[in-house]
Amino acid sequence: MRPKKFFLHRPQGLDEAIRLKTEHGDAATFHAGGTELLVALKAHVLRYEHVIDLKQIAALKGVRLRDDGTISIGSLTSHDAIANDPIVRERLPGYAELSEHVANIRVRIAGTLGGVLCFAEPHADAPTLLCALDAWMVLRGPNGEREVPSRDFHVGEFMTARDDDEVLTSIEIAPQSAGTRSAYRSFGHTERPAVGVAAVWSTDNPQRLSLWAGAISASPVCLARTEDAAAALPADLPSADTWARLQRAVAADAQAIEAHDDLHGGADYKRHLVSVLAERAIKACLP
């Protein structure tokens, strides 16, 4: 099936893109990687008279290391580019590994981080680890620029905190200390994860675990009981008693998640996956 005819705009700058969206209003949409949008247009799930292609805007591409150590990822940076970027590989190897395994090679080369975040399909990998990393999104629209924490960005299935006339310009990740490691583990029967779990473990004083589950619900879920249990553990990890306490906390977190049966599996099956993947992600963070 072919999409309905639309007019394709290719602005050279961000201001021009925002002006075009303001001019055409609800009849227009922004286009990033297109791996999600074009499928929806072809299926006639979505229809727009104007598509504003952002791919010519160089300022939205690439990975930059800011003076304070913050990693800034341009929203139009592809998954493949992120996976192979030397800054990401050195400072966030867990995120580089995630990007290496997104969907398939076509999606990794064409798909952009900003595109998958703004489309907000629940069964995606990136949002989960970004929440665990306490990342934040930078948005720019006709009223200026604002920042939104990653954990507040996705508000439901295919719904985000981004206003329709705003462009996601970058994803910012604060400097990681030498005692911090991150990991993401997922499982699925298709190219999309049925469940994904992200862990960020800091051995600094005080030690801290950030643990999030994704794809199992409309937006990533914080496994708060496990985070609290980890904070109370002795520093000499791991031990048999340690893992038993963490496993009990993870099981309680998993059972509290509102899941439903779908083509990715039954609700109980996906809750079980949370428990299994959480333990794997945490272990991957340990020296």
Residues 196, 280 contacting (CB under 8 angstroms): no
When pLDDT is averaged across residues 235-244 and rounded to a whole number, the result is: 68
Closest CA to 133 of 103, 85, 79, 88: 88
Q: Which residues of 77-107 are buried (b: 16+ CB within 10 A; e: fewer)?
A: bbbbbbbebebbbebbebbbbbbeebbeeeb
- What is the spatial distance between Cα 32 and Cα 118, in angstroms, rounded to a whole number? 9
Rounded to 10 degrees, the C-alpha dihedral 130/134/137/138 comes to -140
Q: Is the pLDDT of residue 236 over 70?
A: no
- What is the spatial distance between Cα 241 and Cα 96, in angstroms, rounded to a whole number? 32
The 10s digit of each residue's pLDDT in 78-132 is 999 999 999 999 999 999 999 999 999 999 999 999 999 999 999 999 999 999 9
Q: Which two tokens stand for residue 178?
A: 């030498």
Closest CA to 151 of 195, 198, 90: 198
Q: Is the pLDDT of residue 32 over 70?
A: yes
pLDDT value, residue 205: 75
Domain residue limits, the chain: 7-53, 58-173, 181-285
Residues 152, 146 contacting (CB under 8 angstroms): no
pLDDT value, residue 61: 97
pLDDT value, residue 162: 98
pLDDT value, residue 238: 58
Q: pLDDT-derived band of residue 235, with 50, 70 and 90 as boundaries?
A: low
Spell out where 21-151 has E strands. 28-31, 50-53, 63-65, 71-74, 136-141, 144-149
Superfamily per CATH, domain 181-285:
CO dehydrogenase flavoprotein, C-terminal domain (3.30.390.50)
The 10s digit of each residue's pLDDT in 47-83 is 999 999 999 999 999 999 999 999 999 999 999 999 9
pLDDT value, residue 39: 84
Query: What is the CB neighbour count within 10 angstroms for residue 205?
Result: 8
Could you give the percent of the chain with pLDDT greater than 90?
A: 83
Three-class SS state of 213: strand
pLDDT value, residue 204: 83
Q: pLDDT-derived band of residue 240, with 50, 70 and 90 as boundaries?
A: low
Amino acid residing at 160: T
Among the listed ranges 34-38, 62-66, 174-178, 217-221, which one has the minimum average pLDDT value?
A: 34-38
Average pLDDT, the chain: 94
Q: pLDDT-derived band of residue 4, with 50, 70 and 90 as boundaries?
A: confident
Q: Which residue has the tokens 């109980």?
A: 268
When pLDDT is averaged across residues 235-251 and rounded to a whole number, the result is: 78
Closest CA to 129 of 90, 169, 101, 87: 101
CA angle, corner 259, sides to 200 and 275, nearest 5? 40
When pLDDT is averaged across residues 218-236 and rounded to a whole number, the result is: 90
CATH topology for 7-53? 3.30.43
- What is the spatial distance between Cα 234 and Cα 261, in angstroms, rounded to a whole number? 38
pLDDT value, residue 206: 81
Residues 222, 250 contacting (CB under 8 angstroms): no
Q: Is the pLDDT of residue 187 over 70?
A: yes
pTM attached to this predicted model:
0.95
Q: pLDDT-derived band of residue 239, with 50, 70 and 90 as boundaries?
A: low
When pLDDT is averaged across residues 244-254 and rounded to a whole number, the result is: 93
CATH topology for 58-173? 3.30.465
